[in-house]
Structure 1
């Protein structure tokens, strides 16, 4: 058990944090020493919305005689009013006596009203929070407490957050901004705030201003000014403050705080914060850089962050490949619209920029530098949305020039090939959605290990990029030679995964095994998941001759079999392993593949056997 006390200057309240205390620390049965009458208004106290305890100073404040304790506390410690009345506080509850003695004496001697917040932790998790007020009146110490249920999951402020949180996170990571709401004294912080203060969310964050607590002493007066202004019924305040994060980094923050009443008469305080610190060149990679990095090898696909903002935007390399300009020479403006052939598309793009429409999904022709002999075809999607009373935008640009040329060539010979190319293009989007789903799952599962998330996502991105590269370069979109593909896939995996150099990859595939893209996409993702799991967990001995083997054979009757195994330490608890996120992803992909997968018992290492159909029924119509 541990007790910490701290005066929180910004809130003007003493905070007492109690860690891992047991019932015996709070309540120790003690013999009755004094005959004490009931309070004349005890019934009134028992029916009030807050708890009120009454104590009588004894021997000029050396100790305190308990006259009454609130029903909530009595029930919590399984005792009655007669079990506590007439006892000395020092004997009945030594913990509270030692913790609150100075506050009781101050109220008793100086008649000061004391405000205290109790924060209880069990196993480093917030278990209870209570606000208390101590006053001296009628010769007695009265303690009123208001207990807050920290387990409640309902967030009263969610109705005020009408936006897509995934898109919001990308924008906040890009712009180094964050926001919060304060409703009825409870805070809600966006992910951007945690990016600014360099830490993860903690359970008690709903009850404190986690940014203002970090303000350096020289800027405390600015925070007081912000509170003075926004404590009015309707007010707005813009200031610049400096904070020092818990890891010692000094940052400069632009703060915009305003308050207003909603339709129900509830006062809402909202804060928007922008990190305007000038970063050095050795700054840690931001999450938005990781997102863009996932597209760094793609010349066909571009991620567009804030494409409707001429001053603050960021595009992946695929955009500059498409317009055939270097990053340094490109000036972002509406002038780029002049190179678009279709005028109705230009009209809709202008409406999007002007805020008249909120989304565009277009396929159009583009003349590089206005030259008709350098025509390209682009598929463009941009969505505008509001966050923090400010418009933001995200988009994707796909260069489908080669695909369109192939379409035109195939139309003359085979209409089905044209449909198939459209299906392949559609699958690119589907695969990006699958990767986004994996990213969201792993953000929750591995939030304390971002490097692991990055490594997993880079592996999947490279695998799918290789698949689509081979698909686009192939003359037969329905039959991809698996052996040739997996040879390149192993090389890509070795370059991406952070693994000891003494792990050997050994792959065998039947020469005649050819699969459609419907089959090979989930198959390669299953191989990636099992391989990443083996690299991370199977080989604690880095000096041993470690090996990962894949064997894929054609069993006939439209059925193939994958056996993937390692010679590592094996799985001690297969039941527990089945419940982890990687296994859930593998089971989901196996279901998509229409196959079955199971563990194979081995004396050493881990092995999986996956049986799957060679050809699946196409979804092309």
Structure 2
């Protein structure tokens, strides 16, 4: 068993929360130690709703002798009166001795009435509530108990039990609203009224108007006017009156009064809805609603909505006004606010909730701030409408999820783009492998007696494509590829594969800001590979020749075109027509056509050179 105690000053009651206890723990077998006189009026005590439990102080209040228990207490303990009377409380019910001894001892010593509320919880849910009044009289302690029990056999309470009542009490407590009924000359006041007047209930409250009784002298004539109007047959009247509570606080109350008459015009009942609308007085007033709403004061994205369906009794946290970008002092709550919602179906659902056609709403919608389509926010709203007695209440939350939804959409778009990229990678890998396979088949026929040439060519091509795949696909950017980085890496690969073996140096000069798309750079690198392999094969027949060099220079001609100059310092070309018809040159021509470029051979003082002109941009296959 776990116990938590707290004193409720407003209600003047000690509240005791009891967790993890079962009926079988209430009473245990204990020997009878005292003979007790018979309880008077046993039949009456069995038939009244309130349990009357009688205890006799023992050893100056150190313990208490059980004289008798009420009918419901006996029933819950599954015992008879003779099974429990004459036993010490500490022995017959150690649990109740632990719960009650302090309160019993206090009443025994002070002879003052004490109020206690016991809340029994099972699996963290409220199972039973017992209001207790402890009285000292005739040398005995009397405990008067009123039970609110959900089941006679278990402490478990169904999930929705008393749900609407709890919400109504929550709203009244925090929103400083309350109501009363007057039927057959007697008043019934809700807890919200006591929050407003800041005092606990009194047993005589049903006999007079506890609100009107606190009216300040200046407003007494107004009270007389209200009573005359309501008695004359008026069914509804609104007014604001001023009261002064018992602690001297001046409050302004908005009154909505209703009367019900029979067919003959006779008054049947009166109902009043009252709200504390005080803003300022001679001292700062802190309302219970402020404690709840202050929990949301730093939240600009989450708003608590208390009574959002009531245009006169609503209370909203600051997040609501921040979301709709309105001044709380100037804002007037009405259906007009929903007209800024973009989705018509959401508007219709809210109207159905207002009109009572549905009781719950959970929607996501787009809100045009002050009707401005260029200032939109994405919001989630939960509203619930419920009845308690003859009153309708509502409560809900409003959340600005614009940033989260934007990020979510960006993530979805990024995921979609990533899927496109993956498909594009697979497509390009397949195409490039097909190209390499075609080159390999051509060279197998052309160089069937020279496998080393085939291997060199394939290694160079594979290295270039590997560089392209690694750099480009790691960044997932197929549209802005810096060429200089690729050429530098390509030169490094050529030095490793061929340069060190054949004593050839590779030098390149590339414009720093030359940026190409994947459609351009793929065939361009393959063209450079073929030109380089051609130069290696034909420019340096003498393997012992020193200072062999192949250079590249790539520059922008204008905003649309670029130029590649690749040349060697080899032996030159004796028969240009013959060399332009070999397999390497045929491959170069096909790649140049794929590149949508133009290539030409030229001789210079020391060796051979090629000039390739090509476009910087080509149509891209990936959107975004």
TM-score, length-normalised on structure 2?
0.38
Which has the greater radius of gyration? Answer: 2
